[in-house]
């Protein structure tokens, strides 16, 4: 199975997503997974279109969008599967023209559902949904196949030399840590309350006095932290922290408890809560009951290392594809290059109608109205 995976190409605060994605794909290939990457940001980095923008650009034959689609068309015949990992910038009409088995990936529900998944996911053969709380909504949008796809953690996100004994008997200086922004959504109020209860914790990210923690320092911080608190802005769990914390031997105390139970065993591998007051009490309890904290942390670590490493998580995608492709073949799709040429022809004709015919029709209408007034 040969896979072409499209990703969001952007640069932020010294981070280059292209380098990050290509490194990840290289590691997947080293484990026998036949996957190649292609950036889905036409024209320049940081180019993610909202649904109205994408629809309008597609309909008018935007050069940057058509350039991207032609780049895909140039290579797509060499692949069996196309994965839009971030669900961006690919119009559903173009998706339906692709000769591949097509997978829609989204890790931004429900905040960005209106711009990503809801208008486009129906056109794909399979949707892999990062937020376990939102999978059922895809069926309401007309998506026939939608399955949970955990983010998991990447090889650079944890200490591979960490051992069971390190977690059970080692010393960790930091009681509590969290790496997340503090400025948006209703998470802000809860973080402020939590900070008041634990002012000596290690807090980093946009909106915190410490600012951002360098990527090179994150694993060190986690390996010296007892409890990692995890707050979301809406439904979830849906962030890398969900998997990175236990992968580093940190006891995770996370919100969205009911759905957290579908990812880890509550009380055995992680601890769940529903409100900030409960989170504060749980942190106090496990700081006072260190042996319990260590036992849960080591079980969470074992589960994360086994089931949520980057290879195991990608294998879930391959498993889903294989299960669905055992069904009868999908309908035959048109030749991709011909489809794009027809799209360019249609948009040219629409422009011609607008620039030539439309002004003429407006003029005739005005003359008719003027005649009516004169008579």
Q: 79 pLDDT exceeds 90?
A: yes
Instruction: Note whether 103 and 124 are within 8 A (CB).
Output: yes
The C-alpha atoms of residue 284 and residue 269 are separated, in whole angstroms, by 18
Question: Which residue from 149, 4, 2 is spatially nearest to 82, judged by alpha carbons?
Answer: 4
Instruction: Note whether 93 and 13 are within 8 A (CB).
Output: no
| Per-residue confidence band for 6, with pLDDT thresholds at 50, 70 and 90 | very high
| Per-residue confidence band for 347, with pLDDT thresholds at 50, 70 and 90 | low
Kindly state whether residues 209 and 170 are assigned to the same domain: yes
Structural domain includes residue 367? no
Structural domain includes residue 350? no
Structural domain includes residue 288? yes
Kindly state whether residues 125 and 159 are assigned to the same domain: no
Structural domain includes residue 375? no
Mean pLDDT, residues 349-362 taken together: 50
Kindly state whether residues 277 and 294 are assigned to the same domain: yes
Residue 175 token pair? 């009681």
Q: 306 pLDDT exceeds 70?
A: yes
Kindly state whether residues 88 and 163 are assigned to the same domain: no
Kindly state whether residues 195 and 146 are assigned to the same domain: no
Pairing of strands 15-16, 11-12: antiparallel
Kindly state whether residues 187 and 103 are assigned to the same domain: no
Structural domain includes residue 32? yes
pLDDT given at position 337: 66
141 by Cβ neighbours in 10 Å (0-12 / 13-18 / 19+) ranks as: middle
The number of C-alpha atoms within 13 Å of 157 and in the hemisphere containing its C-beta is 23
CATH number at residue 298: 3.40.50.2000
Last residue of a domain, one of 308, 340, 357: 308
Q: 235 pLDDT exceeds 80?
A: yes
Looking at per-residue pLDDT, the higher value among 360 and 10 belongs to 10
The 3-state DSSP class for residue 39 equals strand
Kindly state whether residues 138 and 171 are assigned to the same domain: no
pLDDT given at position 352: 46
pLDDT given at position 276: 97
The 3-state DSSP class for residue 192 equals helix
Kindly state whether residues 264 and 148 are assigned to the same domain: no
Q: At what angle do helices 17-30 and 310-325 cross, to 10 degrees?
A: 70
Which domain, by its residues, includes 29? Answer: 3-152+311-325
- What are the tens digits of pLDDT across the range 59-70? 999 999 999 999
Question: Which residue from 6, 4, 74, 68 is spatially nearest to 36, judged by alpha carbons?
Answer: 4
| Per-residue confidence band for 354, with pLDDT thresholds at 50, 70 and 90 | very low
Question: What mean pLDDT, rounded, does the chain reach?
Answer: 91
Question: Which residue from 183, 182, 297 is spatially nearest to 249, judged by alpha carbons?
Answer: 297
The 3-state DSSP class for residue 349 equals helix
Structural domain includes residue 333? no
The C-alpha atoms of residue 104 and residue 320 are separated, in whole angstroms, by 12
The 3-state DSSP class for residue 189 equals helix
pLDDT given at position 345: 65
The sign of the dihedral angle between the CA atoms of 324, 330, 334, 339 is: negative
Q: 74 pLDDT exceeds 70?
A: yes
Kindly state whether residues 131 and 37 are assigned to the same domain: yes
Structural domain includes residue 48? yes
Say how many domains are in the chain.
Answer: 2
Q: Which residues of 296-310 are buried (b: 16+ CB within 10 A; e: fewer)?
A: bbbbbbebbbeebbb
Is the backbone peptide bond immediately before 110 cis, with ω within 30 degrees of 0? yes
Mean pLDDT, residues 145-153 taken together: 98
- What are the tens digits of pLDDT across the range 101-114? 999 999 999 999 99
> What is the three-state SS of 301-312?
HHHHHHHCEHHH
Q: 45 pLDDT exceeds 90?
A: no
Kindly state whether residues 9 and 143 are assigned to the same domain: yes
Name the pTM for this structure: 0.88
The C-alpha atoms of residue 231 and residue 335 are separated, in whole angstroms, by 47
Kindly state whether residues 258 and 295 are assigned to the same domain: yes
DSSP-derived secondary structure letter, 143: -
Return the bridge partners of 272, or none.
254
Kindly state whether residues 35 and 145 are assigned to the same domain: yes
Structural domain includes residue 122? yes
- What are the tens digits of pLDDT across the range 180-230? 999 988 899 999 999 999 999 999 999 999 999 999 999 999 999 999 999
Taking 3-state DSSP, the helix, strand and coil percentages for the chain, each rounded to the nearest 5, stand at: 50, 15, 35
- What are the tens digits of pLDDT across the range 326-345? 754 444 565 676 777 777 66
The C-alpha atoms of residue 236 and residue 255 are separated, in whole angstroms, by 8
């Amino acid at each position: 199975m040969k896979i072409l995976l499209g990703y969001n190409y952007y640069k932020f605060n010294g981070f280059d997503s292209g380098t990050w994605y290509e490194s990840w794909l290289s590691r997947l290939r080293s484990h026998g997974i036949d996957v190649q990457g292609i950036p889905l940001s036409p024209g320049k980095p940081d180019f993610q279109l909202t649904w109205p923008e994408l629809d309008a650009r597609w309909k008018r034959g935007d050069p940057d969008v058509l350039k991207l689609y032609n780049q895909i068309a140039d290579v797509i015949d060499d692949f069996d599967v196309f994965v839009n990992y971030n669900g961006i910038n690919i119009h559903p009409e173009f998706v339906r023209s692709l000769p591949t088995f097509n997978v829609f990936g989204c890790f931004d529900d429900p905040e960005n559902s209106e711009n990503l998944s809801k208008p486009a996911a129906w056109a794909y053969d399979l949707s892999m949904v990062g937020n376990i709380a939102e999978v059922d909504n895809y069926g309401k949008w007309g998506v026939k196949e939608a399955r949970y796809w955990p983010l998991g953690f990447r090889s650079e996100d944890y200490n591979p030399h960490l051992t069971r004994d390190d977690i059970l008997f080692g010393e960790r200086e930091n009681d509590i840590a969290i790496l997340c922004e503090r400025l948006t959504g209703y998470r802000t109020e809860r973080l402020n309350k939590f900070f008041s209860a634990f002012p000596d914790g290690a807090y980093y990210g946009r909106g915190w006095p410490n600012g951002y923690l360098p990527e090179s320092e994150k694993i060190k911080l986690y390996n010296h932290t007892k409890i990692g608190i995890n707050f979301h802005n809406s439904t979830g769990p849906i962030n890398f922290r969900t998997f990175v914390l236990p992968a580093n031997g940190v006891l995770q105390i996370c919100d969205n408890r009911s759905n957290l139970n579908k990812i880890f065993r509550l009380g055995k591998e992680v601890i769940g809560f529903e409100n900030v007051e409960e989170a504060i009490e749980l942190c106090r309890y496990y700081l006072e009951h260190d042996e319990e904290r260590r036992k849960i942390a080591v079980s969470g670590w074992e589960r994360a290392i086994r089931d949520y490493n980057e290879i195991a998580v990608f294998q879930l995608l391959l498993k889903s594809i294989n299960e669905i492709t055992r069904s009868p073949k999908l309908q035959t799709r048109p030749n991709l290059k011909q489809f794009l040429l027809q799209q360019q022809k249609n948009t040219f004709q629409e422009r011609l109608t607008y620039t030539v015919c439309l002004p003429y029709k407006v003029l005739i209408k005005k003359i008719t109205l003027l005649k009516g007034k004169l008579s």
